[in-house]
Structure 1
Amino acid sequence: MASEESKAPSFFLLVFFSLSLVCCAGASNGAAATGDDAAMLLAIRASLVDTLGELRGWGSAPHCGWKGVRCDDRGAITGLDLAGLNLSGAVPDDVLGLSALTSVVLRGNAFAGELPAALVSIPTLAGNGLSGEIPDDLALSTSLSFIDLSRNRLRSALPPRILSIPTLQTFAAAGNELTGGVPDELGGCRALSALDLSGNRLSGAIPAGLASCQQLASLILRRNSLAGEIPRPFATMPALSVLDLSNNLLSGEIPSNLGSSPALEMLSVAHNNLTGPVPATGLLRTISPNDLAGNPGLCGGVLPPCTASAPRASASILRRSHVKHNVAVGWAIRISVALLVACGGALFLGLVLYRRRYVNGGGCCDDAVEDDGRSSSTAFQRLSFTDAQALACVKEDNIVGQQVKQEVGCDGIGAQNHK
């Protein structure tokens, strides 16, 4: 019995010692991890240009109190918010070394250069000077929920599957120079609630497949070059509350049931090429005329009433304008040709008359001058010629003094007088 009692304290001591080792090891690992995070932050600061000294407090312990840094209970960095600090330089890829990081916000700075593919996990890079292309690898993410690349200088097409990230809730790339069309591979957009692609150079039709994004509440595609009709399935989207398609090249009619979309609160289709009557349903009964402006072919509803030809007014206007343009061009060509022919004919006729009268033996002087042996100078004084006639009549036989020249011999003029 005594031996059993003596073993009990030994067992508890062993358990206590083991737990102490585990705790010490965990503490040392946590300390090492937080130490690594602090060193990583200092490396990030060293790679940036901090003209306003916003990060001058980085360096004092503990690092979880540094500006823009958020930590968990163990001291590991989980968030980094450097928005609006006027930082410049390249986007710091050292942030990828922060293993517990779940949120990075770098918008509103002056970062420049191309968007590195390794940084696709940084969701918020809005308001910088980033250029180049959006990496295709961004669409391979399975955990991103928020991506904001707005107000940069990105020049590329959107990766086809960018909106198919299963966890993606918000994608914003407004104010860039993106080209191509709106991605139509939307098989995994079940979480997408906000899409803003405004202020780019997107073209082509708006994919009707966007209506399959059942959680999509805000769709902003204004200030692009999108064409075609407004997809009719948009009217049945259960969560769509904001739809801005203004300043594009859309044509056709407004879907008749679009105003009755169950959640629609804001709609703008201004400055397109839409035609036909404005449906008098739901939101469209009270919509501001400004949200319909710039579509000459629209009528009815909150706009002036439609006439018999109003539903096709825009198309008719375009056709009439085209016909008038063609007629004007045709008449201009006809008048130009007629003027050329008239001028050419007049010039040709003038040349013919001139040659007949003055050049080809017209003899303007032969009939006018009497060959009676009198001095040629006397005949010339008796007649009145125009300058052109005088020049045309200058022939060798009519030159004054020509006869005298023939009669002057070796004895000179005096010999002629002597005879």
Structure 2
Amino acid sequence: MHHLLLLIVFLSPSLTLSLNKEVLYLQKAKLNFDDPTAALSNWNPDDETPCKWNGVVCDSSSSVVSLDLSASSLSGPFPSVLCRLHRLSSISFYDNFINSTLPDDELADCLALEHLDLAQNYLTGTLPRRVSELTRLRYLDLSGNNFSGGIPASYGTFQKLEVLALVENLLEGVIPSYLGNVTTLKMLNLSYNPFSPGRIPQEIGNLTNLEVLWLTQTSLTGEIPDSLGRLGRLVDLDLAYNELSGSIPPSLTQLRALVQLELYNNSLSGDLPSGGWSNMTRLRRLDASTNELTGRIPVELCELPLESLNLYENNLHGGLPDVIAESPNLYELKLFRNRLSGKLPSDLGRNSALWWIDVSTNNFSGRIPESLCSNGALEELLLIENSFSGEIPASLGECRSLLRVRLGHNNLSGEVPGGFWGLPHVSLLELIGNSFSGGIAKTIAGASNLSQLILSENKFSGYLPEELGFLENLLEISGNDNRFSGTLPVSVVNLRQLVKLDLHNNAFSGGFPIGIDSWKKLNELNLADNQFYSEIPGDIGELSVLNYLDLSRNRFSGEIPVSLQNLKLNRFNFSYNNLSGHIPSDYAKAIYKDSFIGNPSLCGEIQGLCNSEDIKNKGYIWFIKTLSVLVGILLIFGIVWFYIKYKKFNDVKTNLESSKWTLMSFHKLGFSESEILEALDEDNVIGTGASGKVYKVVLSNGEAVAVKRLWGQSKASDDIERGSIRDDGFDAEVETLGKIRHKNIVKLWCCCTTRDSKLLVYEYMPNGSLGDLLHSAKSGLLDWPIRFKIAVDAAEGLSYLHHDCVPPIVHRDVKSNNILLDSEYGARVADFGLAKVVDDASGKGTKSMSVIAGSCGYIAPEYAYTLRVNEKSDIYSFGVVILELVTGRLPVDPEFGDKDLVKWVCWMLDQKGVLSVIDPKLDSCYRDDICRLLNLGLLCTSLLPTKRPSMWCVVKMMQEIGCRSLHKNAVKVGN
């Protein structure tokens, strides 16, 4: 019988392979996964051994001891069958899409396990309790998942655990004291979890083997316990982004092995410890910024071999000890926004390769040290808002490593060194608010990377050199309030990237150089308060994005070019020149009167600008003719209206047509207000909201516009006075959309106003709003690529508001109904009736509102109870929009019970896994990208505002998702 079995095995190789249980177990695990990138393609069931399979490592007896499938795009539940591999000591599924909950009981069977890495996946539910029963386990990383609930009590019973990382989950409760029982720990990282407010447990001081302790953004309160001073092996301590209070305990200076100390963004107060720093002989990086620290910087601290010293945004006073200059490793020194005074150490930078120095907004005085760039590594020099005096050191004129220089608002004087003008890598050179003299040297030709040249409010003189026109990357020239003279150099027209040119309040003369129509990106031109003469060139009308134009208080003559009507000017001023003739009709309105005064020979339809009797008579005749035409037009309108509305006279239309309208345009218009007014009837209504009705108006040229008519006074509440919410919304809309230009912000063509009515005319978006389309029967039109494109477009629009507008703009009502779609499903952010400019003068970046504004389901939780608004409020609302795109669900739905969409998604992920929340209309082939965007949406809707990324980061993360998707598609095509 035994010989028969051997014969069968010999004749049947597949039967021999089936006897290898490890192959069978791994094959079962493979069937568990969705494998879109074919990471498991060489896992062949006919192989005799799995030892050559991707990610598999065997020992000398061909038993599987390690499985590493990191970043393989695998999805599906954790394969508990792996625990049958009795010698398996290491499992890593880092950066995949493993979902559902961890099988607690099965995981406890992995008795040989020493290393378990499941970080950056989509696991939900509570942390596995029985994993502490794995007596050999040394490394446990569950970071970047969606685990919820508290840290189990069993986690205080690990026997050999050295690394415990639970970063970026949804863990609740407080950090438990029983973690102090795991004395084998070398790394404890609980950062970025929404724990309940609580203190750092004293028992953490029992972890005497600990080398890394990260408790960043874990809702810590109270004082830092003295017991942390017992962690004699600690190398890295990070307690940043909490609400810690009190002073830094002197016991921390006993941490002899400490290399990095991060305490920034807390509410610490009191002095820095004055003694004991000499014990911390290994400390390289200290970051105690953004606290409430007071007192002086201890000399002992500066005697340490520091690489990085960050104490910015505190209340420190006194001087910077000279001994800091002797540190051979110092590369970063950031002390901005304190009350420090005295001189900078004269040898600062001589003994170390200093890269970055920022001591802005202090009371430092004296000269800038000659030695800052002695080692040729200095990249950023920021000294703004101090009392530095004297000249710029000549040595800085040879510092070719410099990238950014900001010396504004000091008492610096003298001429700028010639080499300083021509540093080849500097992108920002800011010297504003000093007493510099002399001229701009011709060596500026070498500043090939310069994009911003800010020289305002100094005593610079002389001509602008022709070499200035060689700087192809220049975006801004601000030289106002100086003593420059002469004509503008001819070469300045070569600056095709120029966005801002501000030379007001100098002594320039002459006229515009020929060829200014090359400034296609120019947004602001201010030449006021000079001695320019000649005529205003018609080419200025070719500057299609010009928004701000000030030529006032010069000696310009001749007529104002009619081509100026091509511009989208939001602010302009031609006053106090020698201009004559008629004002172009688009600007001949009373509201623009102040922009033309001081030109005795300039005439138009604005009362008080013309003085001669002849001009008055001509104006009167023109007025009579115009009035006659208008009366005729109104008569025709009345007849047409009578035949169309023969049953009922429309009171609203009577008011609209009989009132005197004021039109303010923000773009070149191809229509008049009359075309808009005659189309405002109920047949053209396409939407009604809280602020008014929206009409679709088809113009005579065949194009369409959308017109929002704000409710009349009768629609307002009795207790809302004129000029309150309705008028604020109109003003906010006009103020915001009138001055910004972006492809993902809806275009406001113009506004029309009378005493009783207000109209806003926008570009028409044929596909309506995202909300209407996504939550209707037409939602099937929105496949995943379109949804992702909409998300990216909207994010770029919001990023422009938050990061590119100065000051930043908060939308305050981001929702799917305020994201409009063009014919190609390109998205535009719309409805700025609640938008607010962020007043950052306080340094807090927030603005307090008197009432809650926004839409149900989109309002950030902290906004509801603090009434303080900043960019993070918009980011939360945008996160809700992302969840709408992923789930196809409304932000508030009776099906959710007392939950909103955010809470419902978190609950479903916890209970049923990621597939339960994805819109079933979406193709499963996009699941990887959908899950990544879902994760981003959850990040944006974090309860803690500080955990939400900026909109700039959101755009970058979306771009990475898009690039990853393109790469996958390319791989598939290649295969």
1:298 aligned to 2:566?
A: no
Distance in 2 (alpha carbons) for counterparts of 1:229 and 1:304: 24
Residue of structure 1 aligned with 2:541, choices 235, 251, 256: 235
Residue of structure 1 aligned with 2:320, choices 56, 81, 88: 56
**1:214 match: secondary structure:** coil
Contact 2:391 2:416 in 1 (8 A): no
Segments of 5+ residues of structure 2 without an aligned counterpart are 1-283, 285-301, 303-315, 337-353, 358-376, 619-975
Q: 1:100 to 1:119 in 2, by over 3 A?
A: closer
Q: TM-score, normalised by structure 2?
A: 0.25
Contact 1:58 1:67 in 2 (8 A): no
Give the C-alpha shift of residue 259 in structure 1.
2.8
Residue of structure 2 aligned with 1:126, choices 432, 456, 474: 432
Distance in 1 (alpha carbons) for counterparts of 2:561 and 2:546: 15
1:67 aligned to 2:335?
A: yes
One-letter identity of the residue aligned with 2:320? R
Distance in 2 (alpha carbons) for counterparts of 1:193 and 1:162: 15
Contact 1:54 1:85 in 2 (8 A): no
One-letter identity of the residue aligned with 2:388? L
Q: 1:159 to 1:98 in 2, by over 3 A?
A: closer
1:107 aligned to 2:107?
A: no
**2:443 match: secondary structure:** helix
Q: 1:222 to 1:178 in 2, by over 3 A?
A: same
Aligned residue for 1:181?
Answer: 487
Q: 1:300 to 1:101 in 2, by over 3 A?
A: same
Residue of structure 2 aligned with 1:221, choices 527, 534, 555: 527
Distance in 2 (alpha carbons) for counterparts of 1:153 and 1:205: 23
Structure label with greater radius of gyration: 1
Distance in 1 (alpha carbons) for counterparts of 2:588 and 2:319: 51
Aligned residue for 1:277?
Answer: 582
The two structures, once aligned, show a CA RMSD in angstroms of: 3.2
Q: 1:299 to 1:54 in 2, by over 3 A?
A: farther
Distance in 2 (alpha carbons) for counterparts of 1:82 and 1:135: 23
Residue of structure 2 aligned with 1:267, choices 548, 553, 572: 572
Contact 2:493 2:516 in 1 (8 A): no
One-letter identity of the residue aligned with 2:476? T
**1:228 match: secondary structure:** coil
Contact 1:164 1:187 in 2 (8 A): no
Q: 1:71 to 1:134 in 2, by over 3 A?
A: closer
Deviations 1:308-363 (A, max 9, x none): 7439x9xxxxxxxxxxxxxxxxxxxxxxxxxxxxxxxxxxxxxxxxxxxxxxxxxx
One-letter identity of the residue aligned with 1:277? H
Q: Where do residues 199-218 of structure 1 align in structure 2 (5 Å cutoff)?
A: 199-218=505-524
Q: 1:53 to 1:88 in 2, by over 3 A?
A: farther
Distance in 1 (alpha carbons) for counterparts of 2:609 and 2:454: 43
Contact 1:129 1:152 in 2 (8 A): yes
Q: 1:200 to 1:99 in 2, by over 3 A?
A: closer
Segments of 5+ residues of structure 1 without an aligned counterpart are 1-30, 32-37, 39-51, 314-419
**1:179 match: secondary structure:** strand
The structure carrying a bigger strand percent of its residues is 2
Distance in 2 (alpha carbons) for counterparts of 1:54 and 1:285: 58
Contact 1:58 1:66 in 2 (8 A): no
Distance in 2 (alpha carbons) for counterparts of 1:175 and 1:162: 19
Residue of structure 2 aligned with 1:92, choices 390, 393, 400: 393
Distance in 1 (alpha carbons) for counterparts of 2:467 and 2:335: 36
Q: 1:140 to 1:64 in 2, by over 3 A?
A: closer
Aligned residue for 1:152?
Answer: 458
Distance in 2 (alpha carbons) for counterparts of 1:55 and 1:106: 19
Q: 1:53 to 1:126 in 2, by over 3 A?
A: farther
Distance in 1 (alpha carbons) for counterparts of 2:319 and 2:482: 29
**1:223 match: secondary structure:** coil
**2:491 match: secondary structure:** coil
Residue of structure 1 aligned with 2:383, choices 82, 85, 89: 82
Give the C-alpha shift of residue 220 in structure 1.
0.6
Contact 1:170 1:194 in 2 (8 A): yes
Distance in 2 (alpha carbons) for counterparts of 1:55 and 1:94: 24
**2:553 match: secondary structure:** coil
Distance in 2 (alpha carbons) for counterparts of 1:59 and 1:195: 44
Contact 1:179 1:202 in 2 (8 A): yes
Give the C-alpha shift of residue 151 in structure 1.
1.4
**1:186 match: secondary structure:** helix
Contact 1:105 1:125 in 2 (8 A): yes
**2:562 match: secondary structure:** coil
Distance in 1 (alpha carbons) for counterparts of 2:496 and 2:455: 21
Distance in 2 (alpha carbons) for counterparts of 1:268 and 1:208: 22
Contact 1:108 1:127 in 2 (8 A): yes
Contact 1:55 1:67 in 2 (8 A): no
Aligned residue for 1:138?
Answer: 444
Give the C-alpha shift of residue 278 in structure 1.
1.0
Residue-pair matches, total = 259
Deviations 1:210-264 (A, max 9, x none): 2211111111100000001111111121111111000000111111131331x32
Deviations 1:102-124 (A, max 9, x none): 10100111111112111113611
Deviations 1:40-59 (A, max 9, x none): xxxxxxxxxxxx98862675
Q: 1:221 to 1:157 in 2, by over 3 A?
A: same
Q: 1:107 to 1:209 in 2, by over 3 A?
A: same
The structure carrying a bigger helix percent of its residues is 1
Instruction: Using the TM superposition, name which of 266-275 and 57-66 deviates more.
Output: 57-66
Contact 1:191 1:215 in 2 (8 A): yes
Deviations 1:106-155 (A, max 9, x none): 01111111121111136111211111121011134211111111111112
Aligned residue for 1:363?
Answer: none
Distance in 1 (alpha carbons) for counterparts of 2:387 and 2:450: 26
Distance in 2 (alpha carbons) for counterparts of 1:286 and 1:212: 32
Contact 2:505 2:529 in 1 (8 A): yes
Q: 1:77 to 1:88 in 2, by over 3 A?
A: same
Deviations 1:20-61 (A, max 9, x none): xxxxxxxxxxx9xxxxxx9xxxxxxxxxxxxx9886267546
Contact 1:57 1:66 in 2 (8 A): no
One-letter identity of the residue aligned with 1:114? E
Q: TM-score, normalised by structure 1?
A: 0.56
Instruction: Using the TM superposition, name which of 143-152 and 185-194 deviates more.
Output: 185-194
Contact 1:207 1:231 in 2 (8 A): no
**2:431 match: secondary structure:** coil
Distance in 1 (alpha carbons) for counterparts of 2:323 and 2:559: 62
Contact 2:544 2:566 in 1 (8 A): no
